[in-house]
Structure formats: C-alpha cells, structure tokens
C-alpha cells in the first residue's frame, strides 16, 4: 500500500485500480476542474470600456502635443476647430465624471481645496525653477528619438494601468485599513492624509516621463504649463474620479465612460492629420472595445479552473 | 642527546634584536636553548655566549613545566600559552633582561612546531602548526617592558604605531604628504649618518646602509646638477606651466564639442566650461605671479630650485624626491580639487538615478531590513519624482564624461614615477640581496632539524627566498599602485564586481 493517496496512474494493460485512482487525465480533470460563472456580454463589454478609454486618452495626449507644437511654430492647422473641441472634450468629461461621482469623496471640501491649491502652487514653482533646464534637456537628441521614447512611455502606461481599480474594485491598502479602524463606514470618515495613487504606479510614472520628454521640446512656458497640467488632470486626477464613479454609481458609470470615450475620440480624430493614422486609431479602438470583448465572450466556454489538494491554502474571511 | 648548532652570525654589531631558540633533550624532556640574533626578518644562529662553553654543544638551560595560569599574549589571539619555562640558571634572566627578546622553542611532547613569547615570565603564545619540523619563524619587534604588572597590550611594530598616529591625526594634508611620512618613518638624514655611525637608531624602513650610501651619492649628484642649472630649470618650469594651462583650456573646448560622439547637454557643458576657464585662469595667474615675485622673472622658482638642490645635497636623494612629489601635488591642487568635486557630483547623480528608479517602480529601499519594499506614493510625489528622474537620466552622460575626464587627468598628473624612484631608494633591500647572494644560509627565515626530532643531529637554517626578500618593496609600492587604480575604477564601475576582483588578488 502506498503511503500517499494516488491520484492517477497509467493504465497497466486492462487492470484498473478501483479506489483512489483514475484511469486517465480526463477523469482527473472531471474530479478537480470546474467552469467559472459565465459572464454576460454586457459585463465583458463594460469592463473593456476602460481599456479603450485609456487608449483614447493616450492618443489624445499625443495628438494634443503635436498640435501645440505646430501652434508654437506658427504652422497651419488643418482643422482649427479641433483645438477648441479638445478643450471642450476635456472639460465636459471631467464635469460628467465629477457630477456622477459627487458625494463619493472621503475628504472634506476644505481639505480638497487646500490640497489642490498646494499642488498647484508646488507645480507652478517647480516648473518655474526647472524651466531653464527643462527647455534644453533633450536638445542634443533628435526629435525622432524623443518622440519614440514618448510613444514607448505611453505604451507602457497603457499596458501597466490597473484596470481592476478603474472598474471600481476595492483597494486593499494599509492606508485605508488604518482609516477603517476608526469608523464602520469607509466612506464617512474624512481623510486627512493625501491619498496614494492606486491606478498603477508604473503606468502613471510612464505617462509623466513621456510628459516630461514632450514638454522639453516646447518653447513657450505657458504651453509647457498647460501641457503638464493637462497630463496631470488626465492621468492622475481623472482615474481616481473614475474609480469613485464606479464605486458610487455602478450602473451609470459605463455610460459616462462611454460618453467620455466618444468625446475624446472625436477630438482625437479631428486632431489626427493623416488618413493612415485615423485608420489605425479607429481599428485599434474597434478591436479593443468591440471585437476583443466578443472574442472573450466566445472563449469563456473553454475556460476551466483546476483546484485540488496541491493548491496553496488561502484563508477566507 | 644533544644538538649541534652551526654558527652563522658574523655581523652582530649591526643587529640589536636578540632571540632565543630552544631545542629539546629527548631523554629527559628538558629544553635546550641557543641564542639567535635576528634583525627584523632575518635570523642568524649563534651559540650561547657562556664562559664555560667549550665544545659548542647546547646546554640545558631550563625545564619545561605546565603553566598554571593562562595568560593572553599580544602575539597571538588564537591560542593562549600553556607552558612556561623555568630557568635553571641565573644567567638566563640576565641574558633576556637587557634585550628585546623573542623566545622560540620546540616541544615534541605537545607536537607544536614552535611557540613565541615575549618574555619568559609572561609565558608563551602558541602558533597552531602541528608539524615536526620548524618551518617558519615569525620575528616581531616590540618594546620589552620587564615589569611584571604590566598588562597593557603592546604594539607589534613601529609601523603599526605610526599608522595609528596617522589615522588619528586631524591634519589630512600632512597625512598625505610624502615628506611628512619620510621624516616620521625613516628619520634618516644622510648628513646625520656621516657624523653618527650608530645604525641602531635607524627605524626599520631604512633597511641597509648600502641604501644610505646610494641615497647620499645620488643626493649629491642631483643637488649639484640642480644648483648648476637652476636658472634654466626656472625658465623651463614657467614655460611648462604655460603649456599646461593652454592644454587644459583646449581640453575644456574639446569637452564642449561633443567628445567621442557623446551627446552632452549644451547649457550645462557651457556653464561648467565657463567656470573651469575661470578656475584655470586664476590658478595659472597665482602660480606665475608667485614665480615673478618682486618684479624679477621666475624669482621664486630660482630660489625654489636653489633650496631643492641644497636639500638634495645635504639630506639625500630620498628627501629631495619626497619634497618634489609634494611640490607637484601642490602645483596640481586645482586638478585634485576638480577630481574630488566631479567625483562627488557623479556619486550624487548615481544616487539620484537609483533612488528615482525605485520611485518609478513604486518601491522604496528599507534600510532596516536592507531590502526593497513596495511604497504607495501620491500623484504629486510621482510627478516630481519623474521630473527629477528625467533630469538625472538626460544629464547623466554629461556628468559621466566630465567625471571620467578629470579622473584620468588626476591619474596622469600623479607623480607615480618619482614616487617609485623614492621607494626604490628607500625600501629596496640592497643589503639583503647582497648577503643573500653571498651566503644564502646567513639569511634565514626559519630553522629546522635535518631528521626526525628524536634523531636529528643538525639544526639548520631555511634560507630566505628572493621573492620574500623583495616582498616589502613590491607590497608597499607596486601592489599599492595597482590597488589605487582599482579603487579609482570602483568609482566608475560597480563596486561589487571590483571588490570581488580586489579580494581575489589580495588572496
């Protein structure tokens, strides 16, 4: 007799052991595998919206830089309305997100205003001090190199973004655990400390790195300030509000996100100049927002989880 | 059973360190002592000086008994002495009291090779070699204080004590001065030597009187040459300073023009270049102004060469080279300062890059646990971190180029050749080489018995190898140059990799 339970052994001719053993791997998989719950197409599609939104924001950011550069160099822009539309897109998207996530913030108005003011002053002072060095930071490198680095940075941002956080999944962090000790409701206690960023540190850093590279190619201080402020708004503040939007209004959130996608993609579409760029942009957006969810909906039938006594034990609450 | 000794010593008047070698008598388990004279690393065997000694055989001088109290010895911390020697005659104590002694003995019952002891009263400290033959002999120089209650630790050698003094001294400039080291370590002045033949006052680093003769002769030669041609030398020096200044100016312009294809940050390069121009201009004016003091061309230089020539003539070539090395160091002080500045700047740049890369990944170094842990940053911290990271990354090339350039310049201006010449004149063992070539057995590093200890008939000397003879010189100078370069390369490369290379070479 073996000391350990035997899960499977190769079938020796026709003799099969009856207890504790399965004749083939199919039997093993039947015993220990199970299919996960089938998700509806609606849920899969809604979860993929944030990925598409990040792609749209990334393209909007890059095209915005190109337009700013052309304006600085006094070049003619194909569609003069695109600049105003991009501003409209940013402001209206922010308005929608803030409106639907109102009341979700855990800090008081006074604290928020104080924090925002300090951030603004700090950013202004920092940019003023380093503007002289920032202007010539990448002066000795060619534009192609800088643009390639910036695009690579934005790709890292798109890849490294925490989409679970974007879809409203709760964050397990020591920061919130300390606060929850003092209150039963996690949303009622006003937060006095600055909240960390949970939407993907590498992702945000890559976006800021690309921002710095692109800002170093601009000549006007006001352009740099506006560009950096836009980047901070889109990549730092907006994901936090989006998360709060999914937490407070889970039903309306996908539609708000869809609206922002439409606004930003329209602006980006107008800012893009060549037909090839527009074609690629549309194709990627289509794949991310429609084809990929459809394919995932079809593939989930083939997915199965295998759990057995070999798994590492996890304590469940 | 007795043991015969072959007398070797012929120059004992030059030697001031006396030790005792102890043989054994197998029959009665008693010890037999002979006298060894040794000068630092050399030993010369000699019979015991006793009026009643006629045959040259060793006599029994003491009995080997176990020690009751264990006493720590400063010679070895590995094992404490276990046995002491009980003298059998009053002359034993007299022999040891007036000299710096080392007691060496062989005890076949305990299978020890030999033991060293500072004095017979303190006991013996052990060396852990359990062989039958005595293979190595450690000869250490120390101050023998014969007080019984003296329990303080004594320093092993004069070099060790001088090294401690140097470390404790707040005067860093003096510590780095070769002349200061020359005067404190050697205390050797050629003129003094001619008036005082007592070589016992020499410190160990001036090994042989042949070196002194050579030093004096070269000193006279060099000094006379300098005194004769001092005017021409002053002119050559002033021209050399001008050439050096022009070369450094050209180097700055070369660095500003994208050297070797490196893409440097232009504003940073230009601003650093401006500051360097100012530094070199001021330094050049100071030096040339000193040279043209009181309205005379090269006035100070003329007097400087006069002084150098006189010093060389009176005090020997080593003193002259020591002063010359220090003067070159003073003359290139601005380059030393620039090297130190760029070294610190480069260190800071590397530190910034490493720290901000950790911020990029959302990590932080935990100094308590000595590991990298995850850290939650807020958005403003990340923005500032990334701005600074971009700065550090794109300015790294510029700082690296300047650091490497001024480090190489620092290495080039070091008077390594002069330092080697100085070391050759001071520490090269001329006397040892001559004696070793003339009589190998007179230069011994150890003693051994020609057969098994119970049946040995001769106590022989292991001659010193040429490699060991030259070791003090090569260790102090040639290896040191290599390790200095390795230390400099540590600053550019990864410290860990170069530490491994250094440890392999040292082993």
ipTM field: 0.82
Best of A106, A206, A212 to disrupt the B interface (most B CBs within 10 Å) is A212
Residue of chain A nearest B382, judged by CA positions: A205
User: Residue B71 above 90 pLDDT?
Assistant: no
Report the distance separating Cα B374 and Cα B384, nearest Å. 18
Contact A205 B258 (CB under 8 A): no
Instruction: Determine contact: A126 vs chain B, CB below 8 A.
Output: yes
Q: Six-digit token pair at B396?
A: 């790294």
Report the distance separating Cα A52 and Cα A291, nearest Å. 12
Which residues from A are below 8 Å from B385, CB to CB? 205
Q: Closest to A194 (Cβ–Cβ): which among B378, B389, B391?
A: B378
Report the distance separating Cα A117 and Cα A98, nearest Å. 18
CA A27 to chain CA centroid, nearest Å: 41
Q: Which of B366-380, B466-480, B485-499 has the lowest mean pLDDT?
A: B485-499
Which residues from A are below 8 Å from B386, CB to CB? 205, 208-209, 211-212
Tens of pLDDT, residues A80-104: 666 677 777 778 877 877 777 776 6
Instruction: Determine contact: A236 vs chain B, CB below 8 A.
Output: yes
At residue B186 the predicted structure's pLDDT band, cuts being 50, 70 and 90, is low
Instruction: Determine how β-strand B458-463 pairs with β-strand B4-5.
Output: parallel
Average pLDDT over residues B115-123: 38
Q: Which of A52-61, B170-179, B421-430 has the lowest mean pLDDT?
A: B170-179
pLDDT in tens, chain A (317 residues): 455 666 656 656 544 444 445 556 677 777 778 788 888 888 898 888 889 999 999 998 998 888 888 888 776 666 666 667 777 777 887 787 777 777 666 667 787 788 888 888 888 888 888 887 888 888 888 889 999 999 999 999 999 999 988 888 877 766 666 655 555 444 554 555 677 888 889 999 999 999 999 999 888 888 888 888 889 888 988 888 888 888 888 888 888 888 888 888 888 877 777 888 889 999 999 999 899 999 999 998 888 888 777 788 877 76
Q: Closest to B380 (Cβ–Cβ): which among A119, A133, A173?
A: A119
Instruction: Determine contact: A141 vs chain B, CB below 8 A.
Output: yes
For residue A106, give how far its alpha carbon lies from the nearest alpha carbon of chain B (Å). 15
Best of A197, A199, A216, A227 to disrupt the B interface (most B CBs within 10 Å) is A197
Which residues from B are below 8 Å from A172, CB to CB? none
Contact A130 B391 (CB under 8 A): yes
Q: Closest to A208 (Cβ–Cβ): which among B268, B362, B382?
A: B382
Instruction: Determine contact: A202 vs chain B, CB below 8 A.
Output: yes
For residue A307, give how far its alpha carbon lies from the nearest alpha carbon of chain B (Å). 30
Contact A204 B382 (CB under 8 A): yes
Report the distance separating Cα A157 and Cα B375, nearest Å. 19
Tens of pLDDT, residues B280-297: 999 888 887 776 665 566
Contact B377 A209 (CB under 8 A): no
Between A80 and B164, residue with greater pLDDT: A80
Contact A197 B376 (CB under 8 A): yes
Q: Closest to A213 (Cβ–Cβ): which among B263, B390, B395?
A: B390
User: Residue B80 above 70 pLDDT?
Assistant: no
Best of B352, B373, B379, B397 to disrupt the A interface (most A CBs within 10 Å) is B379
Nearest to B444 by CA among B20, B41, B4: B41
Q: What is the pLDDT of residue B184?
A: 67
Instruction: Determine contact: A176 vs chain B, CB below 8 A.
Output: no
| Backbone angles phi and psi of B63, in degrees to 5 | -120, 140
Instruction: Determine contact: A107 vs chain B, CB below 8 A.
Output: no
For residue A212, give how far its alpha carbon lies from the nearest alpha carbon of chain B (Å). 6
Which residues from A are below 8 Å from B382, CB to CB? 197, 201, 204-205, 208, 236
Q: Closest to B390 (Cβ–Cβ): which among A139, A175, A212?
A: A212
Contact B265 A119 (CB under 8 A): no
DSSP letters, B343-412, are: HHHHHHHHHHHHHHHHHHTTEEEETTTTEEEE----HHHHHHHHHHHHHHHHHHHHHHHHHHHHHHHHHH
For residue A202, give how far its alpha carbon lies from the nearest alpha carbon of chain B (Å). 5
Ranges of H-type helices in chain A: 25-32, 41-72, 81-100, 109-135, 143-160, 163-166, 174-180, 201-215, 221-232, 238-248, 253-271, 275-286, 292-299
Tally A–B CB contacts below 8 A. Answer: 85
Instruction: Determine contact: A194 vs chain B, CB below 8 A.
Output: yes
Average pLDDT over residues B140-162: 38
The CB-side HSE value for B60 (13 A sphere, CA atoms) comes to: 15
Q: Closest to A205 (Cβ–Cβ): which among B266, B382, B391?
A: B382
Which residues from B are below 8 Å from A211, CB to CB? 386
Average pLDDT over residues B376-384: 88
For residue B376, give how far its alpha carbon lies from the nearest alpha carbon of chain A (Å). 6
Interface list for chain B against chain A, based on CB atoms closer than 8 Å: 258, 263-268, 359-362, 376-380, 382-387, 389-391, 394-395
Instruction: Determine contact: A175 vs chain B, CB below 8 A.
Output: yes
Residue A289 has what DSSP assignment? Answer: I
Whether the CB-CB separation of B128 and B101 falls below 8 Å is answered with: no
Best of B261, B390, B401 to disrupt the A interface (most A CBs within 10 Å) is B390
At residue B17 the predicted structure's pLDDT band, cuts being 50, 70 and 90, is very low
Between B256 and B480, residue with greater pLDDT: B256
Best of A140, A141, A171, A213 to disrupt the B interface (most B CBs within 10 Å) is A140
Which residues from A are below 8 Å from B266, CB to CB? 136, 139-140
Instruction: Determine contact: A191 vs chain B, CB below 8 A.
Output: no
Q: What is the pLDDT of residue B495?
A: 52
Cross-strand partners of B461: B447
Ranges of H-type helices in B261-371: 266-291, 299-315, 317-331, 333-360
Give the number of other Cβ atoms within 10 Å of residue B30's Cβ.
16
Ranges of H-type helices in B428-494: 430-438, 466-473, 479-492
Q: Which of A217-226, A255-264, B97-106, B132-141 has the lowest mean pLDDT?
A: B132-141
Neighbouring residues of B172: CB distance < 8 A, sequence distance ≥ 6: none
Q: Average model confidence (pLDDT) for chain B?
A: 64
Three-state secondary structure of B101-168:
EEEEEEECCCCEEEEEECCCCCCCEECCCCCCCCCCCCCCCCCCCCCCCCCCCCCCCHHHHHHHHHHH
For residue A209, give how far its alpha carbon lies from the nearest alpha carbon of chain B (Å). 6
Best of A177, A206, A208 to disrupt the B interface (most B CBs within 10 Å) is A208
Q: Closest to B263 (Cβ–Cβ): which among A140, A201, A211?
A: A140
Which residues from B are below 8 Å from A140, CB to CB? 258, 263-266
Whether the CB-CB separation of B458 and B449 falls below 8 Å is answered with: yes
């Amino acid at each position: 007799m073996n000391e350990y339970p035997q899960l499977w052994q190769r079938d020796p001719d026709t003799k099969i052991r009856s207890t504790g053993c399965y004749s083939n791997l199919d039997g093993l998989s039947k015993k220990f595998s199970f299919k996960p719950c089938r998700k509806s197409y609606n849920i899969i599609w809604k979860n993929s919206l944030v990925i598409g939104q990040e792609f749209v924001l990334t393209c909007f950011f890059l095209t915005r830089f190109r337009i700013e550069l052309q304006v600085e160099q006094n070049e003619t822009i194909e569609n003069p309305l695109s600049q105003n539309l991009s501003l409209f897109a940013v402001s209206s998207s922010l308005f929608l997100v803030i409106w639907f996530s109102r009341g979700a913030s855990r800090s008081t108005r006074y604290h928020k205003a104080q924090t925002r003011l300090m951030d603004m002053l700090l950013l202004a002072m920092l940019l003023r001090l380093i503007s002289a060095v920032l202007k010539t930071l990448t002066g000795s490198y060619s534009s192609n190199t800088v643009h390639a680095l910036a695009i690579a940075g934005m790709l890292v941002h798109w890849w490294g973004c925490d989409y679970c956080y974007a879809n409203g999944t709760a964050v397990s962090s020591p920061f919130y655990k300390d606060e929850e000790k003092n209150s039963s409701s996690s949303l009622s206690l006003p937060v006095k400390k600055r909240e960390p960023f949970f939407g993907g540190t590498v992702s945000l850093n890559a976006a800021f790195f690309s921002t710095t590279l692109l800002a170093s190619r601009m000549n006007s201080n006001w352009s740099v300030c506006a560009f950096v402020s836009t980047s901070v708004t889109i990549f730092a503040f907006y994901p936090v509000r989006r998360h709060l939007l999914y937490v407070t209004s889970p039903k309306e959130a996908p539609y708000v996100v869809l609206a922002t996608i439409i606004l930003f993609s329209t602006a980006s579409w107008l800012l893009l100049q060549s037909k090839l760029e527009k074609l690629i942009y549309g194709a990627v957006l289509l794949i991310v927002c429609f084809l990929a969810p459809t394919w995932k909906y079809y593939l989930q039938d083939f997915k199965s989880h295998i759990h057995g006594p070999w798994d590492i034990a996890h304590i469940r609450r | 059973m007795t043991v015969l000794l072959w007398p070797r010593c012929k120059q004992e008047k030059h030697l001031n360190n006396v030790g005792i070698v102890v043989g054994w008598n197998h029959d009665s388990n008693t010890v037999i002592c002979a006298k060894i004279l040794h000068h630092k690393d050399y030993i010369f065997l000699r019979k015991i000086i006793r009026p009643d000694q006629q045959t040259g055989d060793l006599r029994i001088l003491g009995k080997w008994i176990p020690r009751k109290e264990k006493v720590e010895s400063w010679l070895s911390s590995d094992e404490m002495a276990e046995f002491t020697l009980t003298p059998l005659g009053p002359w034993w104590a007299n022999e040891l009291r007036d000299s710096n002694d080392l007691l060496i003995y062989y005890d076949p019952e305990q299978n020890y090779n030999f033991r060293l002891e500072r004095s017979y009263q303190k006991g013996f400290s052990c060396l852990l070699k359990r062989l039958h033959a005595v293979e190595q002999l450690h000869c250490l120089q120390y101050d023998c204080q014969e007080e019984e209650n003296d329990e303080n630790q004594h320093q092993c050698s004069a070099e060790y004590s001088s090294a401690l003094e140097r470390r404790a001294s707040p005067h860093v400039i003096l510590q780095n001065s070769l002349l200061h080291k020359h005067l404190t370590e050697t205390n050797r002045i050629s003129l003094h030597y001619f008036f005082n033949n007592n070589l016992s006052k020499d410190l160990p680093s001036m090994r042989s009187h042949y070196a002194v003769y050579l030093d004096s002769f070269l000193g006279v030669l060099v000094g006379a040459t300098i005194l004769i041609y001092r005017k021409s030398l002053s002119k050559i020096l002033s021209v050399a300073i001008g050439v050096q200044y022009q070369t450094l100016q050209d180097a700055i312009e070369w660095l500003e023009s994208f050297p070797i294809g490196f893409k440097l940050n232009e504003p940073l390069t230009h601003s650093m270049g401006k500051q360097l121009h100012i530094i070199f201009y001021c330094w050049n004016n100071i030096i040339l102004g000193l040279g043209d003091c009181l309205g005379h061309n090269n006035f100070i230089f003329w007097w400087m060469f006069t002084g150098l020539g006189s010093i060389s003539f009176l005090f020997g070539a080593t003193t002259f080279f020591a002063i010359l090395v220090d003067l070159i160091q003073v003359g290139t002080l601005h380059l030393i300062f620039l090297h130190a500045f760029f070294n610190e700047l480069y260190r800071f740049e590397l530190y910034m890059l490493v720290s901000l890369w950790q911020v990029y990944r959302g990590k932080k170094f935990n100094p308590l646990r000595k590991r990298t842990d995850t850290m939650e940053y807020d958005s403003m911290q990340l923005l500032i971190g990334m701005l600074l990271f971009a700065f550090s990354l794109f300015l790294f090339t510029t700082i690296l180029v300047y650091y490497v350039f001024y480090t190489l310049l620092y290495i080039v201006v070091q008077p390594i050749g002069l330092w080697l010449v100085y070391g050759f004149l001071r520490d090269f063992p001329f006397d040892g080489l001559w004696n070793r070539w003339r009589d190998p057995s007179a230069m011994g590093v150890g003693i051994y018995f020609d057969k098994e200890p119970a049946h040995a008939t001769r106590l022989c000397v292991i001659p010193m190898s040429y490699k060991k003879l030259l070791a003090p010189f090569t260790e102090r100078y040639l290896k040191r140059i290599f390790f200095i370069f390795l230390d400099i390369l540590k600053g550019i490369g990864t410290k860990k990799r170069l530490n491994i290379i250094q440890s392999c070479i040292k082993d």
